[in-house]
Structure 1
Amino acid sequence: MAVRAVRGAVQLERDEAGHMHERVEELLTAVLTRNGLTADDLISIWFTATPDLHSDFPAAAARRIGIADVPLLCAQELDVAGAMPRVVRLLAH
């Protein structure tokens, strides 16, 4: 069986848990839909967030839309000067 990965990113307007959930849910749904995937196809998802986001874990949004049996991991992006602020990225396998 071949293993593939898909990625995506979203920029948040503000660091607020409810807003993060909405935007990450939209991102994850769009990535799965555009790639013809369901939760049963997933091995794992890595989420990263820029250092200015700390209101919640991006993975909490995945759990809220029913992705319950997939290992999820959150990490912080490098704090690089001039980088785009308030960004959540995902890499799904």
Structure 2
Amino acid sequence: MSVRGIRGATTVEHDDAKEVLQATESLVLEMAESNQFKPEDIVSIIVSTTVDVKAAFPAKAIRSIEGWTYVPVMCTHEIDVPGSMRKCIRVMMNVNTSKKQEEIQHIYQNNAVQLRPDLQKQQ
């Protein structure tokens, strides 16, 4: 068993609390399903948002998922680089798993698929 980092990102159309929470929940649930882990396997989660996402804490969505209450989650803002993607939510999960690094499925949704096309699942 090793600790592996699992990347994920999504975007929202509007800085709206409901939209931020729904997008975050959708992302982390797909990350868990694609990589076949349970909440108790998670060491910690860091969530970052671009500075234009401030209507809600994405961590609230994660803590609200059934069984995820005790997962350690922290939110922060991304560096505001000129020309970078807007309204983006990024997730870094550290998970105990027996998977090899190259077996990890990194998940990108909505406009965030542009961030790392090299890590997209083979369809």
Show structure 1 runs of 5+ residues with no match. none
Task: Name the residue aligned to 1:92.
Answer: 93
The structure richer in strand per residue is 2
Secondary structure, in 3 states, of the residue corresponding to 1:92?
Answer: strand
Runs of 4+ in 1 over 2 A off after TM superposition: none
Aligned with 2:7: secondary structure? strand
What is the deviation of 1:2? 1.5
For residues 11-49 of structure 1, what are the alpha-carbon distances to aligned partners after superposition, in whole Å with 9 as ceiling and x for unaligned? 111100101111110000000100011101101000000
2:59 partner letter: A
Give the residue type in structure 1 aligned to 2:78.
E
Distance 2:34 2:9 in 1: 14
Matched residue SS, 1:44: strand
Larger Rg: 2
Task: Report the aligned-residue RMSD.
Answer: 0.8
Say which SS state the counterpart of residue 23 (structure 2) adopts.
helix
Equivalent residue pairs, number: 93
Answer yes or no: is the 8 Å Cα contact 2:63–2:71 preserved in 1.
no
Counterpart of 1:8 in structure 2 is: 8
Identity of aligned residues (%): 34
- TM-score (norm. length: structure 1): 0.96
Gap runs ≥5 in structure 2 = 95-123
Structure-1 separation of matches of 2:84 and 2:32 = 26
What is the alpha-carbon distance in structure 1 between the residues aligned to residue 15 and residue 34 of structure 2?
27
